[in-house]
Structure 1
Amino acid sequence: MINVAVIGAIKQGKSTLINTILDYKINNKTGKYPEVAAIVKESGSTTQTPAPYSNPLLEGIVVWDMPGIDGFCHKMDEYLDKFEINSDKFDFFVVVISGEITTDAGHLIRELYKREMPFYLVRTHVDETIRKGQRLRKEERDVFNGVRDELHQQLHLLGQSFEPINGSVNIKYELYLVDGLERDRYDMKKLLEDIKNDLP
């Protein structure tokens, strides 16, 4: 059994991403997800405790919606300890952002690095960023690559403030740019394939 922890601030698209990973779709008639799917709220998450989700058709994977990291900042170690986010309980970690790497997200990445816990960094809402770029007459591919390059640069600059482990700073991550609702656009397909490859 693979346990995946999905971590991030509120209103980053975590629940929508979880439903897409588990292949839960919005019903065209009701406009809602199935009752067993992760709860998506326009006002942001109110999750107070880790919530596990699974799909009987996708054996071997449980995706956990973790409480928001908002406000923990320099106390991110307390957040990870409080919710038992560690390599003994979870097989891998998905850090969700919807724009640039915020202060809270930066402290989360720092703490994952210190604990030598590799993670997937998923940048949601890239479709909205592309639409904004197109209104400025930018090409979709240029906007997409620009977002990717900027995040790699932010992680590089962030890593310069980290203490070396075994003589070097090596942030172990994979970066994906996605539209949370679409399984076949941008990097979502690769994200799903990589998760599938991690299944037992």
Structure 2
Amino acid sequence: MAEQVDPCALLLKNSGEKTVELAMATAQEVVNRLDNVVLNIAISGETGAGKSSLVNAIRGLTDTDDGAAPTGVTQTTSEPTPYPHPTMENVTIWDLPGTGEPGFKPKKYIKTVQFKTYDFFIIVSATRFRQNDIVLAKEIKRNKKKFYFVRTKIDRDVEEEVKKGVLEEQTLPTIREDCEKNLNELESPPVFLITSRDLSRFDFQNLVETLEAELPEHKTQALVLSLPVYSQRSLEKKYNIFKKAAWASAITAGAVGGIPVPMVSIAFEFTVILSFLTKCYFSFGLDDKTLAKLSKRVDQPIQEMVRESSLVMAVAEKTFNAKKVAARLSATGGMDALCSILPVAGCIVGVAMSFITTQRALLEGLNEFHKLAKKVIEMAKLE
């Protein structure tokens, strides 16, 4: 005989709280953080350094996509310009005016920049960092904000040196040392070498890990979920965040699962499941736009492979079709589990039973998306 699971005990174990009521309150806080944390990233630097391309790359866009920040070697940004994340509306990347224009006045620029708006600054250069960058960094520090120096277009530098017979392993330390030496007024802070063309190369992962170590936890979570999947490591970080949050989403569904109106309960649980899986779908880069670009870039049928998943197709519908999701879950027993709460709806046990069944459905969907995203990484040959 199968071992009986105490639904209330399991709910409390997942939440770490002593009562169901406290567990529900904590869960709501976790869900709110997942949905509503505001993150503002400021990108500054000289005109033509690749600021706008970095803005686009962080948002998972190319320079030619609809909604991309305009790029060019001339000044394209005259005032701080917000670019909302395409799928996380509370995350915004700001393209600040260039600091290297003729007649540039640091004091006026600093007055224009609203330091309190941003969580941190990325100061960009395609060559050496100059005095204007140092002045800005000092002012950022004075305003008790974090700043990070990023040297862009590294792929082009490496390619030019390779033509001369110089290996990449020799070129990168030379560039890094030159940049850091030029920042000795600031005690030579680390410089991250990146290319916006391919975030999987060079130091982008190191930059993200530095941000994770220095940002508050809730801001770090927003950052990790908003970045495109550029490596196996970045995918695993996203997966772990969603896995830890699944219990909270399940409990919020369970709160309605205790209502003695079965169809209301079931409908709400489907809403929770679809909302959660939609976040996973976009964060894992399983949407058609992302996959179409990736498939073209690496010349692999990645989009076709992912679209074979009936769960992906169900979540991809612009108007969520509960019947499709129900059919998909019934194949794994998820639907039967959801229906099993009906006899006990209307009590604390009903909340706990709803939690168990909804959490199982969430984790089944999350694991399927994770498996698909891993296949995408393998096909795209991302490290």
TM-score, structure 1 as length reference = 0.77
- Kindly indicate which of the two structures has a greater share of residues assigned to strand: 1
- Are 2:140 and 1:112 aligned? yes
Q: Secondary structure at the match of 2:182?
A: helix
> 1:14-29 to 2 correspondence within 5 Å?
14-25=51-62
Report the CA distance between 1:154 and its aligned residue: 1.7
- Tell me if 1:33 matches 2:65: yes
Native 8 Å contact 1:76 1:111 kept in 2: no
Give the partner amino acid of 1:11: G
- Kindly tell me: are residues 178 and 149 of structure 1, through their superposed partners in 2, closer, same or farther at Cα, counting changes over 3 Å? same
8 Å CA contact 1:6–1:65 kept in 2: the answer is yes
Match of 1:3 among 10, 33, 40: 40
Cα deviation for residue 193 of structure 1 reads 5.2
Letter in 2 for 1:198: T
Partner of residue 63 from structure 1, selected from 93, 98, 103: 93
Aligned partners of 2:53 and 2:62 also within 8 Å: no
For 1:175-198, what per-residue CA distance to the aligned partner results, in whole angstroms no more than 9, with x for missing partners? 210111112111123334555763
Give the equivalent residue in structure 2 for 1:121.
Answer: 149
- Looking at structure 2, the residues matched to 25 and 70 of structure 1 have their Cα atoms a distance apart, in angstroms, of 24
Q: CA 1:82–1:59 in 2, change beyond 3 Å: closer, same or farther?
A: closer
Q: 1:184 aligns with which of 170, 179, 200?
A: 200
- Relative contact order, higher structure (CA 8 A, sep 6+): 1
Q: Give the match for residue 131 of structure 1.
A: 159
Look up the SS of the partner of 1:66 in the other structure: strand
CA gap of 1:199–1:72, structure 2 versus 1, over 3 A, is farther
2:288 aligned partner = none
Unaligned runs of 5+ in 1: 27-31, 160-169
- SS of the equivalent of 1:100 reads coil
CA distance in 1, matches of 2:88, 2:60: 9
Question: Residue 220 of structure 2 corresponds to which residue in structure 1?
Answer: 198
Aligned to 2:148, the other structure's residue is in SS state strand
Which has the larger displacement, 62-71 or 2-11?
62-71
- Between the aligned partners of 2:143 and 2:71, the Cα distance in structure 1 is 31
- The 2-side partners of 1:73 and 1:150 are apart by 26
* RMSD of aligned alpha carbons: 2.5
AA aligned to 2:162 is: Q
Amino acid at match of 2:132: D
Distance in 1 between residues matched to 2:128 and 2:157, nearest whole Å? 11
Separation (CA, whole Å) in 2 of partners of 1:138 and 1:116: 41
User: Are the structure 2 counterparts of residues 153 and 93 from structure 1 closer, same or farther at C-alpha, using a change threshold of 3 Å?
Assistant: same
Q: Which residue of 35, 53, 58 maps to 2:83?
A: 53
Instruction: Decide which structure has greater helix share.
Output: 2
Runs of 4+ in 1 over 6 A off after TM superposition: none
Gaps of 5+ in 2: 1-37, 213-218, 223-383
1:74, CA displacement in angstroms?
8.4
The yes-or-no answer on 1:93 pairing with 2:130 is no
Contact 1:12–1:98, Cα closer than 8 Å, also in 2:
yes
Counterparts of 1:18 and 1:49, CA distance in 2: 15
Q: Secondary structure at the residue paired with 1:121?
A: strand
TM-score, normalised with respect to structure 2:
0.43
- Greater gyration radius: 2
Q: How many residues align?
A: 179
Q: 1:58 to 1:175 in 2, by over 3 A?
A: farther
- The alignment partner of 1:47 has SS state of coil
Query: Identity over the aligned pairs, expressed in percent?
Result: 25
User: Does the 8 Å contact 1:60/1:199 carry over to 2?
Assistant: no
1:4-57 C-alpha deviation (Å, 9 max, x unpaired)? 11111110101100000011135xxxxx222x121123x423211211112232
Pick from 145, 162, 169 the counterpart of residue 141 of structure 1.
169
Aligned equivalents of 2:208, 2:52: Cα separation in 1: 15
Counterpart in 2 of 1:163?
Answer: none
Deviation at 1:129, TM superposition (A): 1.3
